[in-house]
Amino acid sequence: MSARHLVRTPTPTVVPADLEMKFLKAKQYQPEALELFRAISAEVRVCLPNARIEHIGASSVPEAMSKGDLDIFVGVPGDEVEKAVRRLNGLGFREKTGTLRTESLCMLETAKYGSGVAIQVVANGSRFEMFLAFRDRLRIDSRLLQSYNELKLESIGLDEDLYRERKSAFIEKTLSSAATRPNMNAPGAVVFDMDGLLLDTEKQALEAFLHACSIHGVTPHLPTYYRCIGRSHDTRQILIDGHAPGFPFDDVVKEWIAYSAANFKNRPRPVKAGAREILETVRKAGLPCALATSTPEPGATERLSAVDFDRYFDVMVTGDRVERGKPDPEIYLVAAAELGIDPARCWALEDSANGVRAALGAGFSVLQIPDLVEPDDDVRTLGQVILPSLQVANQLLLDALAR
C-alpha cells in the first residue's frame, strides 16, 4: 500500500482565491501546535496508558510550513486498534471520512480544539509507521524539507484534494529512497563545537576580517577565508597562500583583533537558536558532555560563561590544548578520552566542514548544522547527518533517547 492510497483520488479543480489554501511559516503555528500536542497527548495517555504517542506531521518538523494542522501518532498492538479507537471516541474523536481504513490504521479527527487536529491510530510494526519514517526524514534532511515547503507553496490556488494527492506522491517518493536513512542510536556522550554552532560568532569574525582587509587595502578572497573556519593551527599559511602576493597577514590580524575587541568583546556573544534547548536536553538526560573548540583559552571560557553555557560541560578541550587542530581528529579523541566514553558511542555537533572531518575521523556520529558555508557536494558525502537547525538536532536527540 503506497502513501497516495491514504486519501481518495480527487477530481482536480482550481479554487477561488478567497477559498485557496494558506500556508504558515513555522514560527506562526508551531509553538501553539506543540502546546496543544502536549495537552492532547496527556489526555490520550490517561485512556491509553501503554500507547506510543508521538508528534507527527509538519508541526513536528522545525522550519516546516503548514496550514497549521496538528497530527498525532498513537501506536498500539495490532489486536488493540479497535479498542483504542473506541476509547478515543470517548475523548471526542471521530473517524475521518475520505481516508483509508484498515485493521491496522484508523484516522480520527475532532472539532473539540478547533479545526485541524487529527490522530492516526496505527498498529505497531505495521507499514503505517511510515508517518514516523517520513517525519524523521524531514527532520534530518534540510534539502528534503526545503522541497517539501516548495511543494506547499506551489499548491496555493489548487483544490485541497489535489494538494493532498501531490503530497502523498511526494511522501511515497521520499520513503522509497529511505534505505539511506542514517541510524542514530542514542549517544553515550555528546560533544559540541562552539563558534558558529552554539554561539553566532562566525558572522562577527567575518565582519572583523572584512574590516581589517579594507583598512589595509586588501581584496578579501572569501573561499580562502571559509577554508579557515573551524581551524586554528594553520590559518596563517592558508590566508597568505590564498591571497595576492604580499598579503599583510600580521597587520590584518592586528586590526582584526582590535575591531573585534572594540565591537564584540564587552558584550555577550549572540546565542544560536536552539542552543540552550539542546544543552538542557543533554543535561536532563544525564549524558556526559564536552566542548571541542578551536578557540583557545581563556577566550572559550569567557564566551561560554558570558551566556551561562560553561556549566553544561564536564570537559572542555580548547584549541591550545592539542598539537593538531581540526580537521585532524585529535581534539575529539581527547574529548572522548577525558569523558571516558568510546568515540563510537559519541555524537558530535559541528557547523564547519573542518569540524565534521575531525569528528568523523575520531569515529563519532556527526550532526552538521551549517552556518556561514553550506556543505558542497564533497562534504555532503562524508557520512554526517546534515540538519537545518539545532532545534531539529534536539528533536533527533530526544527521539533517539526515547527509543
Catalytic residue numbers read 193
d(CA 392, CA 46): 29
Place of cell 575521523: 361
What pairing do the DSSP bridges indicate for beta strands 94-95 and 52-56? unpaired
What are the angstrom distances between the C-alpha of 291 and each of 26, 123, 234, 258, 313? 30, 42, 21, 26, 7
Cis peptide bond upstream of 298, omega within 30? yes
| Number of C-beta neighbours around residue 365 at 10 A | 22
What pairing do the DSSP bridges indicate for beta strands 105-110 and 52-56? unpaired
| Number of C-beta neighbours around residue 265 at 10 A | 13
Q: Which helix (H) or strand (E) holds 386?
A: strand 385-386
Please choose, from the candidates 318, 313, 315, the residue with its C-alpha nearest in 3D space to the C-alpha of residue 282: 313
Q: How many residues does the chain have?
A: 403
The DSSP bridge partners found for residue 123 are 76
401, burial (CB in 10 Å: exposed 0-12, middle 13-18, buried 19+): middle
Dump the DSSP string for 301-321.
Answer: HHHHHHTT-GGG-SEEE-GGG
